Amino acid sequence: MNPMEYTMGERATALRAELRRLVAEHVPADYLGAFTDDPADLAVAQRFCEVLADRGLLCVAWPEEFGGGGGSPWEQTVVREEMWAHHEPRGAQYMGVNWVGPTIMRHGTPEQQRQHLPPIARGEVIWCQGFSEPEAGSDLASLRTAARPDGTGWRVSGQKIWTSYASMAQWCFLLARTSNGAKKQQGLTIFLVPMNAPGIVVRPIRSMLGPHHLNEVFFDDVRVGPADVLGTEGDGWRVVQEVLAFERVGIARYARCERLLQAAPDVLGDQWDDLPPELRARWTRMLVHCRRARLLAYRVVALQSDGRVTPGDAAAYRIAVTKLDQDSAEVLMEIVGAAALTGPDGLRYRRQVEDHWRYAQASTVASGSIEVQRVLLSRALLAAS
């Protein structure tokens, strides 16, 4: 295969058409995501997850024995692209689908797989990620949340921050320190913890992204047992590196950028020709950058399929797509600011662009800051030289 060409196949093409039809049928045209101040938007996402799950499309690439559709990674990529392009009508379910579930498949016990995977595949459960801490965000290995031995289990105490969906999640994918090693990456363990466990307190952090997104989570002597450990005790950092690679490619940010950019000439109509040539040139450049980010994403998907993905591969994509997110948002805001958009379609497009801009502000920090991604990419390039 040419490194610049990726063929998804006829099934993926048909799937894309079906997803667009389902979105048009079940998602309101004014929908801007599940986590607004209007509870009806969350209800839309919950119902749409049921629609996808009933058709075997929520986890289309999962093995059938785990409740999936047995499809290809490229079909799952199509789902990612169409969902993010249409303001993620799965709500928070992308987290369980994209990386919590696949990680449990790879490292979970049969009991953990039976307990957790079918509810994710049915869209019935929301997960949150207990990683970042007040003094351990980008430097995740420096976390202080500790799990102290307690007979046959542990007692977890500490604080997590910037935890998306913690106020509504049923389960937490938690990273805590169970021992101290020669390196700070050693002695970390992953626990699968129910959010209703005694000792867990969630406090929302208000932001311009709306409710439910960001939270502080406090763990006060929370009891966890051997059945809650994912993988091997003390080997959590190795699993986390794999998780982060899945997470960083799991959101197809380029798809929304491309959709909004391509819609601009039609929405503006005759006003498009009145835009400054320099602004239209930047618009063209953003479409080129969309193509670049898409190809980098496809490269990571291909490598993941062969089991060869490295942190450097995911980092290269992440740098490109988060910069695209922010740069395209600035161009789009200038475009809608220069035009007199009226009527339902014009006002709807303005709201979509503004929503995209708000989300883009945090894109170079979320899921690992862009500075950390540059370090990972630099290390990979030096190791290969």
Question: Which residues are known to be catalytic?
Answer: 247
- State CA 83 to chain mean position distance: 11
Crossing angle of the two packed helices 236-250 and 277-305, in degrees rounded to 10: 140
Cα separations in angstroms, 133 against 144, 163, 197, 337: 8, 9, 20, 38
Distance CA 124, CA 50 (A): 8
Cα separations in angstroms, 138 against 197, 316, 373: 27, 17, 10
Three-state SS at 163: coil
For 292, the token pair is 């670049």
Distance CA 312, CA 294 (A): 17
Check the CA dihedral 370-374-379-380 and report its sign.
positive
Name the nearest CA neighbour of 143 among 174, 169, 100.
174
The kind and range of the H/E element at 383 are: helix 370-384
| C-alpha R_g of the chain | 21
292 exposed, middle or buried (CB, 10 Å; 0-12, 13-18, 19+)?
Answer: middle
The dihedrals phi and psi of 150, each to the nearest 5 degrees, come to -145, 80
Count of all residues that appear for the chain in the document: 385
- At residue 99's C-alpha, the angle toward residues 95 and 104, to 5°, is 115
The kind and range of the H/E element at 158 are: strand 153-160
For 165, the token pair is 């969906």
The dihedrals phi and psi of 325, each to the nearest 5 degrees, come to -55, -50
Distance CA 114, CA 124 (A): 14
Hey, which residues does 129 pair with through a beta bridge? 173
